[in-house]
Chains A and B, each alone.
Chain A
Amino acid sequence: DTAVSQTPKYLVTQMGNDKSIKCEQNLGHDTMYWYKQDSKKFLKIMFSYNNKELIINETVPNRFSPKSPDKAHLNLHINSLELGDSAVYFCASSRGLTDTQYFGPGTRLTVL
């Protein structure tokens, strides 16, 4: 069983489009995260939710909006996609904010 899963694995889209990436965890964790890994493999946190409440909101354009319908899901919606949004987006989860984070397989987003 996959602990943290993401869909889709690959996403290719045109500039200006709106897209969503979904994340689900079956670990029973209370905390979920979104990270962005750029072309230089630099991994940076974007958001964190704890019990469906937004806890961490880094300096990310307003075009990015996380949504947590329940503790097991954290989706990422991106409006008006730009070329610079091309990256690999990783979802992660942990029991609490200071516990080990378990990562999903990533979603490679390509904006043309």
Chain B
Amino acid sequence: AQSVTQPDIHITVSEGASLELRCNYSYGATPYLFWYVQSPGQGLQLLLKYFSGDTLVQGIKGFEAEFKRSQSSFNLRKPSVHWSDAAEYFCAVGAPGGTSYGKLTFGQGTILTVHP
């Protein structure tokens, strides 16, 4: 079965600073990978996804993520954070086959606080 670890529970950055949120996964083959964002009291919004192909994927709101097979990582980055980016971010892994086919497994989330 697949698993996801987001090592940072809470990150604080200043507005305008760069951001990197870490995500490590465990899966026997190449999984599908996603980043979702959840604002307080809201549902989850998809930021970006990786299925195959180019390992650097671009998403909405200026976010990007890079799939690194050798490190089993899919870190989320943004060059300049805006105050409106303050939210909770979830990394998720999906299995393209096997017994976990169709199941999306989420990490525990990283809360992002942005200081003015």
Contacts and interface: CB of A to CB of B under 8 A. Distances in A.
Contacts, number: 49
Interface stretch (B16-24, B61-69, B74-82, B88-96): B88-96
Contacts of A31: 102
A56 interface: yes
B56 interface: no
Interface size bracket, B side: 20 to 34
Nearest to A105: B43
B34 A100 contact: yes
A22 B101 CA distance: 25
B99 to A, nearest CB: 11
Instruction: Report the contact-size class of chain A (Cβ under 8 Å from the partner).
Output: 20 to 34
Given A98-B32, A100-B34, A44 B106 contact: yes
Interface in A24-68: 31, 33, 40-45, 48, 50, 55-56
B108 interface: yes
B70 interface: no
B103 interface: yes
B102 A41 contact: no
Interface of A: 4, 31, 33, 40-45, 48, 50, 55-56, 90, 97-98, 100-106
26 contacts: A4-B43, A40-B108, A41-B88, A42-B106, A42-B109, A43-B44, A43-B90, A43-B106, A45-B103, A45-B104, A48-B102, A50-B102, A56-B102, A56-B103, A90-B43, A90-B44, A98-B94, A98-B96, A98-B101, A100-B34, A101-B46, A103-B44, A103-B45, A105-B42, A106-B42, A106-B43
Interface of B: 32, 34, 36, 38, 42-46, 49, 88, 90, 94, 96, 101-106, 108-109
